[in-house]
Amino acid sequence: MTEKGGVDCAHLRVPDIERATRFYTETLGFAERSRETGVSRLATPPQQGGRCPLTLSEGQRGLDRLGIGVSEGGIRDIESRLAGRGTDFTRRTDTEGWTLRVTLPGGLPIELYSRDVGQTREDASVPSTETTRAPHGIDHVTVTAADVQADAEFLRDELGFRLSDVAMAGPGVWGRAFAHRGDGTHDVALVMEPLAPSMRLHHVAWRTADVDHVTRLIERVRAAGSEVDVDVRTGMRGARAAVYVRDPAGNRVELTTAATSQTPAAPIALSRADAEDIDTLWPETHPRRTG
């Protein structure tokens, strides 16, 4: 049986840490759990222990690294696989446990850290009540890559992910791939960007309770004067609603939820564009499909 668990932690770079921290705390409802020079660690209010799902550090905007929680047995299996294949990795032990660090072919560092036996990311991050306005935790992360196939196969062969979907950009060219360790369709999505010198962040997606929760968050984002890329009416994809906004650094944030029916506070109706279309949702990164 494949162990559950996906991306638990995202480490983002922001030029102005004070401004970015205010956006995530005052607008989206995160709680700042610790601060040191140039680094802010943020959690959803229900999280009292464990690792923070969001860390901000000063620098040029973008994704610094991803953190994935794995059981002790699972992380030992990954370490054995990496060593057996001769893949470069580092191992670090600290007060929170031990961490393996590897780098995808496209250049993105991945940290796999040991979590308590039986604990999943849902156990760690979903609030016990719906009174909290903050998102519940990371749903998935989407990055752009020059070689989608190489990075997707590394996630599968080295780190134990499964591939749920591959879209071809042309004969023998992978344009998009969904990789997952949990039950969803993707914990990491890879989208083709042929000329990129290294992997780049496209967006971090955060789980919410329902469509009303998304709507309340979007109202706060608009009131704060932040940019909304795609609104709730164009973000419906099957049984999911997705809204895309920008933090003050320009990092894209997705707010996503299961949404099987309309609600009075947030009716769902496709309007501006069809968000099922890759070319609409990712126009600046994804090549036109062929065939």
pTM of the model: 0.82
Report residue 125 as tokens.
């991050």
Across 41-58, average pLDDT: 81
Domain boundaries 203-281, corresponding CATH code: 3.10.180.10
Taking residues 100-129, what's their average pLDDT?
Answer: 69
Percent of the chain scored above 70 by pLDDT? 74
C-alpha span between 112 and 8 (Å, rounded): 10
CB contact set of 115 (below 8 Å; sequence gap of 6+): 5, 8, 50, 69, 70, 71, 97, 124
The answer to which of 116-125, 130-139, 263-272 has the lowest mean pLDDT is 263-272
Segments making up each domain of the chain, as ranges: 203-281
Task: Summarize the confidence of residues 145-166 as an average pLDDT.
Answer: 94
Residue 169 has pLDDT above 80, yes or no: yes
Least confident of 53-67, 112-126, 158-172, 185-199: 112-126
Mean of the pLDDT values across residues 62-77?
A: 91
CA separation for the pair 24, 263 (Å, rounded): 26
24 has a pLDDT exceeding 90: yes
pLDDT in tens, 82-94: 999 999 999 988 7
Separation between Cα atoms, residue 98 and residue 192, nearest integer Å: 33
In this prediction, residues 45-54 reach a mean pLDDT of 70
CB 227: neighbour CB atoms within 10 A?
A: 13
Q: How far apart are CA 222 and CA 41, in angstroms?
A: 24
